[in-house]
Amino acid sequence: MENNRKIKYLVQGVQTSDGAGVNLNRIIGSPELNMLDPFLLLDEFGSDNPNDYIAGFPPHPHRGFETVTYMINGKFTHKDTAGNEGHLSDGGVQWMTAGKGVIHSEMPEQTEGLVRGFQLWLNLPKEKKMIEPAYHDIQADEIPIVHLQDGQVKIISGEYNSTVGPGKPHTGVLYLDVHLDKKSNISIPVENGWNAFIYVYEGEISANIDVMKGTLAVLEADGSFECESTNDNTKFILVAGDPIREPVARGGPFVMNTKGEVLQAFDDYQSGKFG
């Protein structure tokens, strides 16, 4: 019998505000789940009230990790001090490698009054924390979709059903957006030893534990993940990654291995070395 990874525990997000007052739900990076190696943070943002998000994220620095921003609804413009500029629309992904340091802004634009999406912070291993910054804008039509009998799987990074996503992480990462239209089962292979979670953003799924909308489930470390949707419109992201297993020192927008490196990042930023 195939080995299935069970759900270990559930996590509820914490309502918070970031940037210039953007209301969001912090699911990883909260007191309840500080990190799940290599994942440092997961924010869900979503509102049909522009006041909740329109001020966006004015210029701010990052060093030592990658951000993966997945826009389910709405548009997103980003600019940085190196002259890079990109534009995402509904269904697109921005994969930004902060590396040794970048100052950028992320400004949402509503689509029919609605902005919704996720931002995931992905740690970089020690030998890659100071690489050159890079952007990879992935438009919606560049993300492959595997169609199921009762739904679909969008592959942002990694592989599902012999289809490989366009994300180019520096460590092993699987990032899927799963839609199940009817009460149906799905089995998703995940590399053994990788840390994995699902986050249900519409509907509800049933595995060894039921997972309601707005809940993150941390999975066991081995086997495929199998679940059943319990209504006619279920959507969840499944994200898994190869753990880095190195010390993590955080200081706001900087994630390094030691406190000294974080202090150096603040010093470099304040002395204008981020471009």
Domain extents in the chain: 7-270
* Pair of tokens at residue 211: 């997972």
Residue with tokens 């902005």: 115
Q: CATH code for 7-270? A: 2.60.120.10
Q: Are 119 and 71 in contact (CB under 8 A)?
A: no
Q: Walk along the chain (275 residues) and give the pLDDT tens digit of each residue.
A: 457 999 999 999 998 877 656 778 999 999 999 999 999 999 998 877 767 776 777 778 899 999 999 999 888 888 887 777 888 889 999 999 989 998 888 887 766 667 889 999 999 999 999 999 888 899 999 999 999 999 999 999 999 999 999 999 999 999 999 999 988 999 999 999 999 999 999 999 999 999 999 999 999 999 999 999 998 899 999 999 999 999 999 998 899 999 999 999 989 888 888 75
pLDDT for position 110: 65
Is the torsion defined by CA of 249, 250, 256, 259 positive or negative? negative
Which class for 132: exposed (0-12), middle (13-18), buried (19 or more C-beta within 10 A)? exposed
Which two three-digit tokens encode residue 168? 């180019």
**CA separation, residue 174 to residues 197, 240, 243 (Å):** 10, 5, 12
Reduced to 3 states (helix: H, G, I; strand: E, B; else coil), residue 127 is helix
Pair of tokens at residue 222: 């081995």
Q: Supply φ then ψ for residue 264, to 5 degrees.
A: -65, -40
Which residue, among 128, 139, 71, has the nearest Cα to 99 in the 3D structure?
Answer: 128
The residue among 45, 50, 131, 139 whose CA lies nearest residue 92 is 139
- The sign one gets for the Cα dihedral 88, 180, 203, 175 is negative
CA–CA gap between residue 270 and residue 178 (Å, rounded): 42
Q: Which residues pair with 124 in a beta bridge?
A: none
